[in-house]
Amino acid sequence: VIIFILSFVLFAWCVSRYMRSQRMTVDSLIQSVQMLERKLYLDKNPHSLDFNEVLQLTGKGLSDSLTGVVTRSVFVSQVNGRLKNLVGSEDVAAFCFIDLDDLKKLNDTYGHGAGDLALKNIGYILREYEKKFDGLTGRYGGDEFVLLLSHIPAEKFRSTLERIRGAVYTTEIPQYENIHPTVSIGGVYQAHPLIEAIRRADKLMYWAKQKRNDVQT
C-alpha cells in the first residue's frame, strides 16, 4: 500500500511538473509572437502581412491562420491570467465582442474570398487597438472576435469602439473596393470576472446586431 501511495504521489508530481512546463512553453511562444508582430506592424499593412510566416517562426496553433489573432482557447487562458493580476480600482480591463455583419450574405454574393479578406481586415484593425491599449484579440468563432483593452479611461471606451466600427467600414478591401463591411460591437468596461463580462458583452452585441453597424456599451 505504501509503495502504491508513493507511486501515485510521484506520478501526480510528474504530471503537475509537465503541465507547468507546458504552460511556460505556451507563454513563451505567445510572447515571441507578440514581440515579432509589434515589429511587423510598424511598416506592414493587413493585406501584405504574412501571418503564416509569423506562425512558422514562433510555433503553430497559437494564432488563427487567417486573421492573425490568437485562438479562442489561447485568448481565454491569457485573459484569465491578466485579470488575476488586477490589484486595484485603477487596473480596469474592458471586454468586447465584435461580430462581422452578414458574413453569409457577403460570401454568397461575392464569394468566400471576399469574406476571408473582410475577416482578415477586422483582425488587423483590432490588433492595432490591441497594441494601443496593451490588450489582446482573439477569434471567438467564425465571424466573432473578442477584444480585451487595458489601461483605457472610461470616458474613452465607447469612442474607441466607435472608431473601430468606423475603421472597419471605411478601410478598403483589395479587389472589392465597393464592399463596406460593418460590425456590431458589445462592450463591457469592467471585465472582471471574465464569465460575467462575456455574458454581458454577448447580450450587448445581440442588441447591436438588431441595428447592424452599431455599438452597445
Instruction: Give the distance, in angstroms, between the CA of residue 4 and the centroid of all CA atoms in the same chain.
Output: 45
Amino acid at 10: L
β-pairing, 93-100 vs 70-71, is unpaired
Q: Are the C-beta atoms of 208 and 186 separated by less than 8 Å?
A: yes
Amino acid at 153: P
C-alpha–C-alpha distance, residues 184 and 216, integer Å: 8
| Residues facing residue 145 across a β-bridge | 98, 139
Catalytic residue flag (residue 143): yes
Q: Is 13 left (phi over 0), alpha (psi -120 to 50) or beta?
A: alpha
Q: How far is CA 108 from CA 47, 121, 181, 188, in A?
A: 22, 19, 14, 33
C-alpha–C-alpha distance, residues 101 and 54, integer Å: 28
Active-site hit among 64, 99, 101, 143: 143
Cβ-proximal residues to 90 (8 Å cutoff; 6+ apart), any chain: none
Distance, first Cα to last Cα, the chain: 59
CA proximity to 116, closest of 181, 165, 41: 181
Q: Which residues are catalytic?
A: 143
